[in-house]
Structure 1
């Protein structure tokens, strides 16, 4: 029986071939499906790891699997494969061509309040044991935690497609601004292809609110041939008017296109249905990004996997 928050049979069959086959030398991993469901239960409910129900194996097993796969990029590779398959097989072509013959992405940010248990991590990158180990550079230098008006927070900067699915994101401390993250997000956008071919990395259009309206951002988008649908704040409009002819023409703005920016807000709403995303409990930034990736995998599975219809 599939319980709430667990993967259905169709969803499990989708990601099963993407999971690692063997465990550490000299040992054997527990059943992947049981452990993955335990990770999903924790992400959805936000319970402390020791409070996981016993049906998901010992909590140490579930936590260690999640920690290892967050550090070595297993969760990220699964998400990348789901995006590749969706881009290649989606009959509507919404990821590749959009609703009007173009691939449009939407940008925004959201703040996540950090629980007191998320504070206090030592300032050093995580390390995996053995030859399979390695280090991972901490984002923002301090585990992507900072003090803002909301207290101890982490900010998630993300790109979504028009179906409210996360494409790429970065985590920073809560007091960081939105505008400087536009270029890093677009630089890191990579949607691979099945078979040969370069990854898809240059959308046709970017939609964003007035926080992303800056001269550098607009120049970068023009240089890459990306149409910008970004609202212009009042202070920038007033400054341009004061300069007269030297202020130049106002940037093009399509109100109908801007209304579709709500896709990224719906994406955030889907993400924050997972309580371990809405409130950060992970000390390490790489663990929190692993939790974000697990939630993103579920969002993509729900959108792309067609469940068999029930017969009465």
Structure 2
């Protein structure tokens, strides 16, 4: 067993929720071998063609990776792992934190063909979440985690996009199913963010969702408030003790970047890169 492979404990948690193997046609490579091959590629950042033969043909690993990405299977598996942890009381909804990080795009990630017909569809991705920033051509991962540093939601955007401008989308992407009947859990009780999210507009977006915002006041906002005197109003409430735990999101980002194909983007297609991030997120829930 390679150190990148699923352990027996992880496989026992994952196996019951995988799609069933077809019993007709050509010889079907078992899910465990294929998933281990995909994880090997995510961990090492190597090209798909370099996947070791013990995991089966590299084409099989790539094909199943893409098909499950398009069918939403990876996202469904992530939801199942989150729901199981929530049912066991392992999710800390009181200590959530949110942040974003740049992802450098390797030169092989640039140059995906654009389909003119599909680009005219409403909501279609035309830039593949690649943009220019100070670091060159980059993407950006926006991440919300619980109090233990386990990801609740992930969003990928182009690298030049503002961190705070997508705070609403990141919070709305939280969707942890409940066992049996009932609506999924979508809101942590509080969220800790840094000063980049400290503008009044972004605070209001968080509070409008019934979430307590724990964020230090920006220096420019404080100076502007003091300059106005009484008209500037009272300073926003800030719990310094609770804010000390915001580093859980930084640690979660570091753990995601242990997957080299996440830390550096090699995928031309945005949906393929997002699938890789989703798989890495799912593995964090399995640890």
Query: TM-score per shorter chain, which class?
Result: over 0.9
SS of match in other structure, 1:243 = helix
Report what 1:11 is aligned to.
10
Query: 1:235-282 deviations in whole A, cap 9, x for unaligned?
Result: 111111111111111001111111100000000010000000000011
Return the alpha-carbon distance in structure 2 between the equivalents of residues 137 and 72 of structure 1: 18
May I ask how many residue pairs the two structures share in their alignment?
285
Are 1:198 and 2:198 an aligned pair?
A: no
RMSD: 2.0
TM-score norm. by structure 1 comes to: 0.87
Q: Which moved more, 1:160-169 or 1:102-111?
A: 102-111
SS of match in other structure, 1:196 = coil
Return the alpha-carbon distance in structure 2 between the equivalents of residues 84 and 180 of structure 1: 28
Return the alpha-carbon distance in structure 2 between the equivalents of residues 234 and 177 of structure 1: 19
- Identify if the C-alpha distance between structure 1 residues 175 and 255 changes in structure 2 by more than 3 Å, giving closer, same or farther: same
Q: Which moved more, 1:37-46 or 1:228-237?
A: 228-237
Return the alpha-carbon distance in structure 1 between the equivalents of residues 38 and 2 of structure 2: 14
Residue 9 (structure 1) shift: 1.1
SS of match in other structure, 1:261 = helix
SS of match in other structure, 1:75 = helix
SS of match in other structure, 2:155 = strand
Written as runs of structure 1 = structure 2, the 5 A alignment for 1:1-312 is 2-23=1-22, 26-27=25-26, 29-90=28-89, 93=90, 95=91, 98=92, 103-124=94-115, 138-139=124-125, 141-302=126-287
Divergent runs of 4+, >4 A: 23-28, 135-139
Gaps of 5+ in 1: 128-134, 303-312
Return the alpha-carbon distance in structure 2 between the equivalents of residues 167 and 138 of structure 1: 24
Return the alpha-carbon distance in structure 1 between the equivalents of residues 20 and 251 of structure 2: 35
Return the alpha-carbon distance in structure 2 between the equivalents of residues 124 and 156 of structure 1: 25
Gaps of 5+ in 2: none
Residue 136 (structure 1) shift: 11
Residue 148 (structure 1) shift: 0.6
Report what 1:132 is aligned to.
none
Q: Which moved more, 1:215-224 or 1:188-197?
A: 215-224
Return the alpha-carbon distance in structure 2 between the equivalents of residues 243 and 29 of structure 1: 70
Kept after mapping to 2: 8 A contact 1:144/1:172: yes
- Identify if the C-alpha distance between structure 1 residues 136 and 246 changes in structure 2 by more than 3 Å, giving closer, same or farther: closer
Return the alpha-carbon distance in structure 1 between the equivalents of residues 272 and 60 of structure 2: 15
SS of match in other structure, 1:164 = coil
TM-score norm. by structure 2 comes to: 0.94
Residue 124 (structure 1) shift: 3.6
Kept after mapping to 1: 8 A contact 2:199/2:218: no
